[in-house]
Chains A and B, each alone.
Chain A
């Protein structure tokens, strides 16, 4: 089956620093990747849709200058949380959609970010 990896799985950083999270599709090519954020006991909230070779589309209320998304290849998308603050602490999950046209989203295992 399709596999999506995320790195790191867990990160703790100091307030004001930047953190980069990688999302890779390991055995398929993904034209579209999605980035979600999930707070405890809440649903996954879509942050942005990332298309290979073009600028990401951000959801309303998500600061594009704070959450930088780059989708440089068909297998890699990165999310950089710039100048992180404690309120950015959350579970960040990416998903990828197969270029072959399957409508299923394959999820990465998630990244737990804690900002101190």
Chain B
């Protein structure tokens, strides 16, 4: 089951914040976050394994809710280099892995 991401696309000015959400219809084993630039392979950002977990650093962080069905990626004080398409990847208890629908993020000066 492909997880659903929201929003589909967002445009930010440098320095603004963004939140990208990833939602699954059932409880997950883990959630991964990736950023993909045009024509390139995805780059791993982070993985969350525990319900209620929050991790990352000041600029890019993520959370995983207690029920392990929703995750959010937080981008703070965005930079031009943050532009790209962000995907969550979810793994269920049967070790099935699926990428989310993607969120296109554009940061403008």
Contacts and interface: CB of A to CB of B under 8 A. Distances in A.
Interface of A: 34, 36, 42-46, 49, 91, 93, 103-110
Contacts of A105: 32, 44, 89, 97
Interface residues of B, number: 20
Contacts of A46: 97-99
Given A43-B87, A103-B47, A93 B41 contact: yes
B58 interface: no
Contacts of B91: 103
Contacts of A34: 97
Contacts of B101: 43
A36 B41 CA distance: 11
Chain B facing A: main interface SS:
strand
B42 interface: yes
B99 A108 contact: no
B2 interface: yes
A114 B41 CA distance: 17
Interface string B22-49: 0000000010100000011111100101
A46 B49 CA distance: 21
Interface string B70-109: 0000000000000000010101000001111110000000
5 contacts: A36-B99, A42-B102, A46-B99, A104-B32, A109-B41
A106 B42 CA distance: 9
A68 to B, nearest CB: 21
Given A43-B2, A43-B102, A103-B47, A108 B41 contact: yes
B58 to A, nearest CB: 22
Contacts of A106: 44
Nearest to A112: B39
B47 to A, nearest CB: 6
A43 B41 contact: no
Nearest to B48: A103
A44 B3 CA distance: 12
